[in-house]
């Protein structure tokens, strides 16, 4: 069935470091792709999305590009801040539902 695989954490970075969180998805159909963020004690918030190949989603300095040829949707940020510390989930659309990766915990140290 459909699935999403993202890099396991935790990931610990210093402030202003470059961030990449890898995500790959199964290639069934032409799904929309999403990144969600979960701050401590809260639910998931949509961070960005892309609906077709070569689309780039962006928000709050984060970016991800829908790569059909590599079935990937890697999350990147050029300079992370302490406030970016959270758990990040990659997800793909699947018949009206979402399939989530297991999440990657990011900790940013000052």
Contact positions vs other proteins (CB under 8 A): 31-32, 34, 36, 41-46, 49, 51, 89, 93, 95-98, 100-103
CB of 110 to other proteins, least distance (A): 26
12 or 79, CB closer to other proteins?
12
1 or 110, CB closer to other proteins?
1
80 or 90, CB closer to other proteins?
90
Using CA atoms, how far apart are residues 102 and 80, in angstroms rounded to an integer? 21
CB of 71 to other proteins, least distance (A): 17
Pairing of strands 11-14, 104-109: parallel
CB of 21 to other proteins, least distance (A): 14
CB of 45 to other proteins, least distance (A): 7
Using CA atoms, how far apart are residues 54 and 21, in angstroms rounded to an integer? 18
| Cβ neighbours for 45, distance < 8 A, ≥ 6 positions apart | 36, 37, 38, 39
Using CA atoms, how far apart are residues 108 and 86, in angstroms rounded to an integer? 9
């Amino acid at each position: 069935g459909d699935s999403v695989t993202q890099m396991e954490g935790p990931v610990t970075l210093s402030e202003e470091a470059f961030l990449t969180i890898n995500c790959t998805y199964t290639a069934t159909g032409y799904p929309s792709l999403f990144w969600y963020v979960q701050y401590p004690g809260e639910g998931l918030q949509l961070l960005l999305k892309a609906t077709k190949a070569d689309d780039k989603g962006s928000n709050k300095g984060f970016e991800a590009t829908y790569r059909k040829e590599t079935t990937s949707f890697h999350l990147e940020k050029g300079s992370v801040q302490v406030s970016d510390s959270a758990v990040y989930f990659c997800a793909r659309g699947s018949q009206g539902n979402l399939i989530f990766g297991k999440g990657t915990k990011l900790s940013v140290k000052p």
